[in-house]
Amino acid sequence: MATQAFRHTVIRITLTVTSLLIGISPVLVSAEEDWQRCHRADVKALKVFTVGEASLYRENCNAADLLAPPLKLAFRYFRDVPGDAFGKAAMHFLEKNLDESRFERLEPELATFNQYYQDVGDGDQYTLTYDDGALTLALNGKALTKQSGDDFAHAYLTIWFGPDPYSPAMKESLLGQR
What are the phi and psi torsion angles at 119 (to 5°)? -60, 145
Higher pLDDT, 33 or 38: 38
Q: Quick one: 51 and 15 in the same domain?
A: no
- Residue 102 and residue 98: Cα distance in Å, rounded? 6
What are the pLDDT digits (tens) for 49-93?
Answer: 888 999 999 999 998 898 999 999 999 999 999 999 999 999 999
Residue 46, pLDDT score: 75
Q: At CB < 8 A and 24+ separation, what contacts does 134-139 make? A: 137/113
**pLDDT in the model for residue 32:** 52
* Residue 27 burial (CB count, 10 A): 9
Task: Kindly state whether residues 86 and 164 are assigned to the same domain.
Answer: yes
* DSSP assignment letter at 176: T
pTM for this model (two decimals): 0.79
**Is 63 found in the same domain as 104?**
yes
Q: Taking Cα atoms as reference points, which of 35, 142, 22, 145 lies closest to residue 90?
A: 145
What does the pLDDT read at residue 71?
Answer: 96
Which of 70-74, 121-125, 174-178 is predicted with the least confidence, judged by mean pLDDT?
174-178
CA atoms within 13 Å, Cβ hemisphere of 157: 28
pLDDT tens sequence across 37-47: 999 998 887 77
Q: How far apart are the first and last CA of the chain?
A: 37
Domain that holds residue 12: 1-33
Same domain, 106 and 72: yes
CATH number for the domain harbouring residue 155:
3.50.70.10
Residues 17 and 66 in one domain: no
